[in-house]
Amino acid sequence: MVTTLEITLNGQRREVPGPLTVAGLLAHLKLRPEHVAVEINRDLVTRRRHAETAVAPGDVLEIVTLVGGGAPAAEHEAPTLTIGGHTVRSRLFVGTGKYATLELMRECLDASGCEVVTVAVRRERLFDREGRNLLDFLDPKRYTILPNTAGCFSAEEALRTARLGRELLEGLGNPGADWVKLEVLADTRTLLPDPVATLESTRVLVKEGFQVLCYTSDDPIMARRLKEAGAASVMPAGSPIGSGQGVLNPNNIRIILEDLKGGDPSYPVIVDAGVGTASDVAVAMELGCDGVLLNTGIAGAKDPLRMAHAMRLAVEAGRLASGAGRIARKLYATASSPTQGLVGRN
C-alpha cells in the first residue's frame, strides 16, 4: 500500500511516496547515489546502508553533493536586503492572519520562501478552539518575526503594543525583538494611516531603540518625514489594506523611491498593503522597490498555497526586470525582423 510521507529535505518540507528507503528516495529524486551523501536526523547514512535504511514520517534529511569552491553568485540571485540590523535574502514579507487553518498558514509560509513573517499582538486568541497557539505552527528559529501594531488607532495604543511585542520576542530569543512594523490607523472604513500619530510614534520608538518599519500612505512628503524621524524602512501602501487593488499610484511610489534613495540607494522601501495577485508584486518590484509585504493576497486566494508560490516567483521576476531595464514605450510598431533581403524583393 502506497502512503505519503512528510519529511524535511534540505530545510524544505516535502511529501514523498512511502514506504521508502534512502535508496528509494534517491531514485524518486533521480539522484545518483555515488554523487551524494545523506544524513537522517543528523546521522550519516553510509552508501552501503541506503537500501536497508527506512525513511520515516517527520525525518529531517540532508542530501549534499560537491560543488566548485568560491563560485560567484549566479547573476539572477538577488543580493541580500538589509533593514536596520537585519539582513535577509527573501524580499517577500508575509503575514500570518486570515488563513483557514494554522496548518495551511504554515504550508503557505514555506511555499512563499519568506524569511520574515508579521504577527499581530493580541490579548485574545491565546489559543484556538483546539487549544493550539500560533507559535505552535511558527518556528521562531526559522523565521524572523516582525510584530506589528495592526488595529491601533492612537499613538498610545501603538506604543504599548510595540513594547509588548518586544517583550514576547525577547522571551522567544527571536531576532525580531528589536524591530516593529508600525501601523497607526485613522479610521476603520479606509484603514489609512494617521500621519500625525504615525510620525509621533516613530520618533518615540526610535528613541527607545526600536528599528521601525513604518506603514504609510503613498504621500512622498510624509515618506520623507518618516525617514528623517529615523524609520529603518518606509512602507508605502500600494492601495488600501486588504483591497487587492495593487499599486494604484505608481508615480507616487517612483517619487518616494527617488526622494528616499537619492544619496542613499540602499535605504529600503517596501510596498505594504493592497497586493492582490502576483502581477501586483511584480509591478512593485519593477518600480524599484526593495520588497513587498502582504497577507490577504495569499490567505484570501482560492488556492492560497499556489498563490504563495506565485508571489515568491513574482518578487524574483519583478526584481530581475527592474535591473534589466524595460524597452521604451512607443506609439507605433517596430519590426523585430530585418526588412532587408526579403524573398522576391530587390
- Active-site residues, by number, are 181
Could you give phi then psi for residue 59, rounded to 5 degrees? -60, 145
CB-CB contact of 223 with 236 (8 Å): yes
275 alpha carbon, distance to own chain's centre: 13
Q: Residues in the chain, how many? A: 346
Bridge partners, 54 (sequence order): 21
Sign of CA dihedral 37, 38, 41, 46: negative
* Pairwise CA distance, residues 248 & 318, whole Å: 17
Quote the DSSP letter at residue 329: P
Residue 57 contacts residue 6 (beta carbons within 8 Å): yes
Measuring CA to CA, how many Å separate 74 from each of 20, 71, 77, 149, 173?
34, 9, 5, 38, 33
Cβ neighbours, 10 Å, residue 323: 13
- Across the strands, what pairs with 293? 93, 272
Cα dihedral across residues 236, 195, 125, 167: positive or negative: positive
Going from the C-alpha of 221 to that of each of 214, 229, 236, 259, 331, the distances in angstroms are 14, 13, 12, 9, 34
- What does the CA dihedral 305, 307, 308, 309 come to, rounded to 10 degrees? 100
Distance CA 300, CA 224 (A): 32
